[in-house]
Amino acid sequence: MKYLISGGGTGGHIFPAVSIANALRELDPQADILFVGALGRMEMERVPQAGYPIIGLPVRGFNRAQPWKNISVVIDLLRSMRMAKRIVRDFRPDVGVGVGGYASGAAMKVAAKMGVPILLQEQNGFAGVTNKLLKDDAAKICVAYENMERFFPADKIILTGNPVRQNLTSGVRTKKTDAKTLLIIGGSLGARTINEAIAEGLPRLHQAGIQVVWQCGKVYYDQCQQRLAAFLQTLPKEESKDWIRCEAFLTDMPTEYANADLVISRAGASSISELCLLGKPCILVPSPNVAEDHQTHNAMALVNKEAAVLVKDMDAKNDLVDTALTLIQDDKQLQSLHSHILTLAQTDSAKRIAEEVIKLIKK
C-alpha cells in the first residue's frame, strides 16, 4: 500500500507525522511511504533523518501584515499545486494523511480532488487554518481535544490524542534524586520570556534548595549561560554549583521527565500530550507568538480540568518563579495535578491513527 503524508513547518507537526509513519510501518511492514513538505522548512531535514523520502514544495504562508507582498506567494502556491498533482499522479497513493502546515494544504487538496481518501490529524485545541480549509475533503479527522465540533463535522471526528516520541513510553524510568526537581522546557528554539524569568529568579531558586534543569534553547544558550555564570560567581566558593544545569537542548527526555517533580513548559500540542501521558504536574506559559493564540486554548483545556497551572506570558517575569517555588513545595497540590492530568492522557495515539488510515484503504 502507498501512503502520502504531508505537513510540517514546526516540530509540532513533524514529530506526529513521523510517529504516524512509524506506526504504519509496524502495521504494514511493506508500506511505501512518501512525505511532502515545504522547501526550506524543518521537515526537509528531519524526515530524511527519520528514514523517509520527502519532496519539497515551494509553498509559503501568506503575509498578513503586508498583503501586497502576496503576489509571489500565490504564484508559489499555484506552482505547488501543479507539483502536487504530478506527485499524486506518479506515486499513486492509496490514502493521504495531512498533519497541518503549508505543504499539507496543497498536497491534500490535490489528492482529494484526484479521488484519494484523506485523513487529517489536528494537534491543537484550536484548529489550524489548513485543516479547517480541508475539512470538507477529509474522510476522517483525528483530534487531540474534546469539543472540536466547532471546527469540524462531528461525524468525521475521532478522538485519538497526539502521537508522542516513542522513546518516552518505552520502559519504566524512576526518579534518581531525592531533591525536589524543577524542569524548564521552552521548546527546541527556547522561549525568551521563560528564560528571562528564570534568569531573574536564580537567587530565589538557589535559596529554595531545589534541583533545576533548564533547557533554554539554542537561540538563547549563550546569554543564559552568561547570566548563570555571573550569578554562580556571587556564591561562596565552598558552595556546590551542581544544583542547576543549563542546556541548549536535552537529549534524554525520558530521564529528565522521570526526575522532574514539576515542569514549566510552553503549551504546544506535542509538549502537552507528553505531559498528560507521563502525568507530570506542570505550569504552562502559552506562547503569544502563534496563530490564533492556539497555545492558550491548549492550556485552558487542562486548566479547566484542574490538570495544570497557567501563567500568562506577560506575567511570567514577575510571577513564574514564585508560582513554581510555591507549587513545588506543595505535595498535596502536586498530587492533585498529577491525578487530574493523567485522566486526559490518550495512549497509543500513533497506532490508533494508523489503524484509521488503513481502514480508509480497506473501505
Q: Which residues contact 310 (CB under 8 A, 6 or more apart)?
A: 283, 284, 285, 286, 299, 300, 303
Please give the Cα distance from 18 to 10 (Å, whole number). 12
Look at residue 21 in the predicted model and tell me its pLDDT.
Answer: 96
- For residue 131, the one-letter residue type is N
Look at residue 157 in the predicted model and tell me its pLDDT.
Answer: 97
Is residue 187 exposed (0-12), middle (13-18) or buried (19+ Cβ within 10 Å)? buried
- For residue 152, the one-letter residue type is F
**245-260: burial string, b at 16+ Cβ within 10 Å, e else:** ebbbebeebbebbbbb
Look at residue 276 in the predicted model and tell me its pLDDT.
Answer: 94
Look at residue 237 in the predicted model and tell me its pLDDT.
Answer: 87
What proportion of the chain, given as a percentage, has pLDDT over 90? 72
Look at residue 203 in the predicted model and tell me its pLDDT.
Answer: 96
- Bridge partners of residue 214, in order along the sequence: 184, 246
Q: Which three cell numbers stand for residue 297?
A: 486554548
Q: Is 89 helix (H, G, I), strand (E, B) or coil?
A: helix
Q: Are 285 and 266 in contact (CB under 8 A)?
A: yes
**Number of Cα atoms under 13 Å in the Cβ half of residue 29:** 0
Q: Helices in 162-251 by DSSP H: which ranges?
A: 192-200, 202-207, 221-232
**Number of Cα atoms under 13 Å in the Cβ half of residue 82:** 7
- Bridge partners of residue 220, in order along the sequence: none
Q: Which three cell numbers stand for residue 90?
A: 506518479
**Number of Cα atoms under 13 Å in the Cβ half of residue 206:** 18
Please give the Cα distance from 155 to 177 (Å, whole number). 48
Rounded to the nearest integer, the mean pLDDT of the chain is: 92
Look at residue 172 in the predicted model and tell me its pLDDT.
Answer: 64
What proportion of the chain, given as a percentage, has pLDDT over 70? 97
Look at residue 11 in the predicted model and tell me its pLDDT.
Answer: 67
**Size of the chain in residues:** 363
**Number of Cα atoms under 13 Å in the Cβ half of residue 340:** 17
The stretches in the chain having pLDDT less than 50 are: none
Give whole-number Cα distances, 245 to 73, 156, 173, 279, 296, in Å. 43, 46, 20, 23, 28
Q: What is the pTM of this model?
A: 0.84
**Number of Cα atoms under 13 Å in the Cβ half of residue 53:** 10
